[in-house]
Structure 1
Amino acid sequence: MNYVSAENLTKSYGLKVLFQDITFHVNEGDKIAIVAKNGSGKSTLLKILMGKEIADSGNVVINKDIQVVLFDQEIDFEGNLNVEEFMMTLDSPPILAVKNYHHALHTENPDDMEKALAEMEIHKAWDLENEMRQILSQLKITDLEAKMKTLSGGQIKRVALAKLLLETRAEHRHTLLIMDEPTNHLDVDMVEWLENYLSKAMVTLLLVTHDRYFLDAVCDTIWEMEDRNLYVHNGSYATYLENKMIREDNLNSTIDKANNLYRKELEWMRRQPKARTTKSKSRIDSFYETEKVAKTDTRKQNLELDFEMKRLGKKILELKNINKSFGEKLLIKDFSYQFQRGEKVGIIGKNGAGKSTLLNIIQGFEPYDKGEIETGETIKFGYFSQKGLQYKEDERVIDFIKEIGENFPLANGRTISASQFLRLFLFDDQTQYSPISKLSGGEKRRLHLMYVLYQNPNFLIFDEPTNDLDLPTLTVLENFLLNFQGSLIIVSHDRYFMDRIVDHILAFEGDGIIKDFVGNFSEYREKKSQESGKNQPEVRQESIKNEIPSASVSTEKPVANKRKLSFKEQRELEMIDKELPVLEKERNEILEKLNNETDYGKISVYSAELERISGKMEEMEMRWLELQD
């Protein structure tokens, strides 16, 4: 079944053409990831499909029988609603059936109850509330009475994500689910749960994400938006990179041939005959076409800066028995660590565990309760925080960078200009002279990153640097950090990024305990899985850091061996298989009684029993899936 067809779609903002004459189709069951540099038009394309933007030209046809649902970066909500009320604002038949059922429970009108029960059955809405609570619980939202206005930005986004997943589940007609960076503000456990949920769900998906493990696990097709075009790649992220390299090699070969022809034709053009015959006019037209190809700029700036970093002394940074609490909550307990020159440390842990607090303590932004910190005299911190960029409203990109200095120092006394440094981070000349206020959210994040690096620090501290960064920028950043000779601390939920960069993990494990682990992120997760004896989601067995050339990144994941069930788990699985049919029978008997009952008191009793049995069935079904997996 075809969901969406677009023919010759073009969209511009002023002089900037985002995409031109692109054609694509979305069919039922497709799971598509969109990859592009920030500012290339990813979000604009999604808004066109939602009807929130209009293309300059071309046609978009959306099947009248499907529903298009968007998970956006900007969340609209009424602040005085609590979480449960916000979730129930969905305008779908199953949700309305649940609302009518609750209303009927508080009235004494048998006709209302009879109608509500019929709606619940028609829309299969009995398990919807339990599913809502389970989804919220997986996303670490447990207080359903909390007002939306009291939640943090990350919590609001997680509630909105839960609402979207419930809406997709609640609608029984065909749905196209559009998601713009759904993994931002989720910790690793949440990301892996969502990854598992979407990979198994029978859903048609259009996704923008920078999380390459998530992309590989969920999607089977990649749309690449580059140079105003859209290229379709079937397969993994590694396949996309291979296809992209082949395309660029072919283009470069075409350009080389065009250059040779261009030089020959240029001599002829300089001797342009005054008498323009039809033949000469045709040759002139061909010359301009050849010139256009010959002058195509395919140079890809690789970030290989041999820069002159300020020398690190023998003493880098040492923490001795650091303790920190907020009220009764203990975040850091007797933590000691000595950072080494060139060490790349990843800090992981659940949201609110104290990761950002530790970064602030290290830099002297926040006091600690007790302990001691010794910082080397030569240390120059470069801090990329989650707070975002501070700038004047009308300030241009190039002027903002030049406030630090006109040039960036390289080794052997060489320098590059601020403009050249900006180009290395994918800011073209036109963007450099644009006001910062006109940049997209991702471009502002990229500029913030550049601003930190341009100050030439020798100790980098990155707090969630990958949020809202596009994949091309992430590749540039990864290549920079792999060659960085100073010390590095990264807090990130991006598993691929951490696996490629870090060689050491500091893990916040709760109750103030920070565990020191030598290895990358996936190796730490595997170790924890073995220690706990639980069957964790698939882990990446090998560090990819030393296996990935900058031009081609392999994301093939080893197949995890399926752990055999213990005797106790096998018995539990057998008991579930026996008990579920019994509960199903009881549920059907109660439904039959409800359909034939007119006494309001008995209806209330039966309804309560039905909710209890449905909840128990839901728990057993989820446990059955866990054991099967």
Structure 2
Amino acid sequence: MNYLSAENIAKSFGDKWLFKNVTFGMSRGDKVALIGTNGTGKTTFLNILAGVMPPDEGEVSLRKDIRVGYLDQSPSFDEELPVIEVIFASSNPVAHAVKRYEQALATGNNDALTEILEEMDHLKAWDFEAKAKEILGRLGIHDVDARYGTLSGGQRKRVALAKVLLEDPDLLILDEPTNHLDLSTVEWLENHLNTQNTTLLVVTHDRYFLDKVCNNVLELDHGSAYTYKGNYAYFLEKKSEREEVEAAEIDKARNLMRKELDWIRRQPKARGTKAKYRVDAFEDLKDKASQKKYDNQLELNVRSTRLGSKIIELQSVGKSYDGRELIHNFVYTFRKGDRIGIVGPNGMGKTTLLKMITGEVRPDNGQVIRGDTIQFGHYTQSDLEFESGQRVIDLVKEVADVVRLGTGQTVTVSKFLETFLFTPSKQYDYVEKLSGGEKRRLQLLLMLMKEPNFLILDEPTNDLDISSLNVLEEFLSNFPGCLMIVSHDRYFLDQLVDHLFVFEGEGKIRDFPGNYSDYRLWLEEQETTGRRTVSTSKPKEKEEVPLPAAVPKPTEISKRKLSFKEQREMEQLETEMPEMEKRKAILVQKLSNGGSHEELMAWALEVEQITESLSEKEMRWLELSEIA
């Protein structure tokens, strides 16, 4: 059953076409991901399909009686209404029936009450308010009587998401629904959309979400649209194949154009009409040859300030607000190369911890001791600061005229902007005209120009397109300094962090060794073991749940210290590992210098054996050090 059809639609702003001649359709049960780089017009495309904005060309048609629910990026409602009233101020017939029922009760209108009771039964509307409160609670909105105008931007987006989900539309259109949601809420939304018989069109950069929820992909690229009948993994495979084919076609067209150009130049002007078909074909060929190949990727390679031996120590730091303890006596000493992800429900104190580390907020107790060489790069959720009428290049030149790269070279600000996909013409655009993702990319550029050695990234993935995220991940994986990330993007965390600070509530922060997927697996094992204990045994002490391999159990850490034998083992490991590292470095140097075939084989084998042995010893040392 066809729900939506878009025929040859196009939209331009000024003399620039965002997209043109796009034909697209959706049938019942389709779950489509809309993908494209920042500035390609994804939000504009959704606005046209939802009927918020007309296309310049073409036509959009919906099946008769289809109800569309649309979550845009900046939802707006009456700021004086309580949250629960925002939910009931809906075109949803169930919400409308409940509201009429309450009005009939309040006025004592028995005739109206008799009529509405039948409608309530027919619509199965009796549990609507309970369902509304449940979904609001799942999305972190617990005070349903709070005025909408008092909510933060993230909370407003969550109320709007709850409203559109409760409307239960035939076609659901969501623009960045995972922004401003914590990780557990993203997973709940993922499961909710998977279990509902929903027809869905969604823009999101959460790659796990795309892979698990969507069965079709629509890509906007260079003004055209491409469809892929599969999930995100299938899209990546087929997109790569398409780009290879198109790059080959462009190369072929350029080679042919050189020959045709030579032919045209050799023709006498008086014979210009003799082979007009060939001249016309040349113009078409020129259009094809002038297309850009897919090589405009971000290449982040900026210099960072040297990091000294002393970094940051958190000595029993604590912080409370309004009598509520967010952080209780947290202790941690940062080491070189630390890559830490910070996870937990919204409002638990994640941003507060980051601000205490940077010195923006003072702890109520304890100390934050920072090394002299620390140069913070703090990427925040706040908006980019700029003056009205300021152009992109002028804003960047306020920081520096040239940028030092990690290789020691320097490049102009204009060249550096190009690596961030700001073309020479885009550099002279007004900052206020940039898309949300382009402003985020510019904010990131400005931060990196200051050569930080300790990066703190608070929700860096919001509004960034997937290609920008991939290159940002590549840069951060090679970043030599310390890295702390708050993010709801599970894929991003899995790629970049090796342990987590998990905010568990009541001021407790767990230092978990592993990435986010490791942590989710551990939680599932914990829940499974807990259920097994309840169902198969009499009440007894809580059973210990093992952490991932080579990770000490929390109960062991709290109950005992290292034995004499373990102390000796740890000391021996600390002596052996540096010696093995030295031997490995010598062998690697020998391999670089070359030798006979037999020698090279022997050295390579020994390097492999040392690497495996070192890995085992490092894991054992980590276990012992956690107990110590």
| TM-score normalized by the length of structure 2 | 0.82
Counterpart residue number, 2:48? 48
Contact 1:426/1:473 (CA < 8 Å) preserved in 2? Answer: no
Are residue 296 (structure 1) and residue 323 (structure 2) matched?
no
Contact 2:300/2:471 (CA < 8 Å) preserved in 1? Answer: no
Uncovered stretches (5+) of structure 2, i.e. residues with no partner: 538-628
Contact 1:347/1:491 (CA < 8 Å) preserved in 2? Answer: yes
Over the aligned positions, Cα root-mean-square deviation in angstroms equals 2.0
| Shift in Å, 1:304 | 4.3
Counterpart secondary structure, 1:66: coil
| Shift in Å, 1:531 | 2.6
Are residue 529 (structure 1) and residue 529 (structure 2) matched?
no
Counterpart secondary structure, 1:275: helix
Q: What are the Cα deviations for residues 154-183 of structure 1, in whole angstroms up to 9, with x where unaligned? A: 222211111111111xx6xxx211100111
| Shift in Å, 1:189 | 1.4
After superposition, where does 1:230-629 map in structure 2 within 5 Å? 230-276=225-271, 278-533=273-528, 567=535
Contact 2:84/2:144 (CA < 8 Å) preserved in 1? Answer: yes
Instruction: Identify which range, 412-421 or 479-488, moves more after superposition.
Output: 412-421
Counterpart secondary structure, 2:523: helix
Counterpart residue number, 1:229? 224
CA distance in 2, matches of 1:65, 1:112: 27
Q: What are the Cα deviations for residues 335-379 of structure 1, in whole angstroms up to 9, with x where unaligned? A: 121222222111111111111111111111111112222222221
After superposition, where does 1:11-26 map in structure 2 within 5 Å? 11-26=11-26
CA distance in 1, matches of 2:504, 2:532: 27
Specify the code of the residue in structure 1 equivalent to 2:374: I
After superposition, where does 1:136-155 map in structure 2 within 5 Å? 136-155=136-155
Counterpart residue number, 2:575? none
Counterpart residue number, 1:610? none
The percent of aligned pairs where both chains have the same amino acid is 49
Contact 2:302/2:449 (CA < 8 Å) preserved in 1? Answer: no
Contact 1:506/1:516 (CA < 8 Å) preserved in 2? Answer: yes
CA distance in 1, matches of 2:450, 2:532: 53
Query: Aligned pair in 2 of structure 1 residues 99, 455: CA closer, same or farther (>3 Å)?
Result: same
Counterpart residue number, 1:624? none
Query: Aligned pair in 2 of structure 1 residues 278, 375: CA closer, same or farther (>3 Å)?
Result: same
Specify the code of the residue in structure 2 equivalent to 1:53: M
Counterpart residue number, 1:618? none
Counterpart residue number, 2:121? 121
Contact 1:324/1:330 (CA < 8 Å) preserved in 2? Answer: yes
CA distance in 2, matches of 1:253, 1:73: 38
CA distance in 2, matches of 1:534, 1:66: 46
Query: Aligned pair in 2 of structure 1 residues 26, 228: CA closer, same or farther (>3 Å)?
Result: same
Counterpart secondary structure, 1:429: coil
Uncovered stretches (5+) of structure 1, i.e. residues with no partner: 536-562, 570-629
Counterpart residue number, 1:66? 66
| TM-score normalized by the length of structure 1 | 0.82
| Shift in Å, 1:421 | 1.8
CA distance in 1, matches of 2:85, 2:265: 75
Are residue 213 (structure 1) and residue 231 (structure 2) matched?
no
Larger RCO, structure (CA 8 Å, separation 6 or more): 1
Counterpart residue number, 1:96? 96
CA distance in 1, matches of 2:420, 2:499: 27
Counterpart residue number, 1:3? 3
Counterpart secondary structure, 1:387: coil
After superposition, where does 1:109-188 map in structure 2 within 5 Å? 109-168=109-168, 175-188=170-183
Q: What are the Cα deviations for residues 13-63 of structure 1, in whole angstroms up to 9, with x where unaligned? A: 012210011111111111101011111111101111122212111121122
Q: What are the Cα deviations for residues 415-452 of structure 1, in whole angstroms up to 9, with x where unaligned? A: 22222222222222222110001111221112111111
Query: Aligned pair in 2 of structure 1 residues 78, 336: CA closer, same or farther (>3 Å)?
Result: same
Q: What are the Cα deviations for residues 521-558 of structure 1, in whole angstroms up to 9, with x where unaligned? A: 110122233234379xxxxxxxxxxxxxxxxxxxxxxx
Contact 1:325/1:369 (CA < 8 Å) preserved in 2? Answer: yes
Contact 2:300/2:475 (CA < 8 Å) preserved in 1? Answer: yes
Counterpart residue number, 1:57? 57
Report the count of equivalent residues: 537
Counterpart secondary structure, 2:171: strand
CA distance in 1, matches of 2:81, 2:404: 54
Contact 2:247/2:294 (CA < 8 Å) preserved in 1? Answer: no
CA distance in 1, matches of 2:219, 2:449: 30
Specify the code of the residue in structure 2 equivalent to 1:428: T
| Shift in Å, 1:386 | 0.8
CA distance in 1, matches of 2:197, 2:423: 41
CA distance in 2, matches of 1:267, 1:314: 64
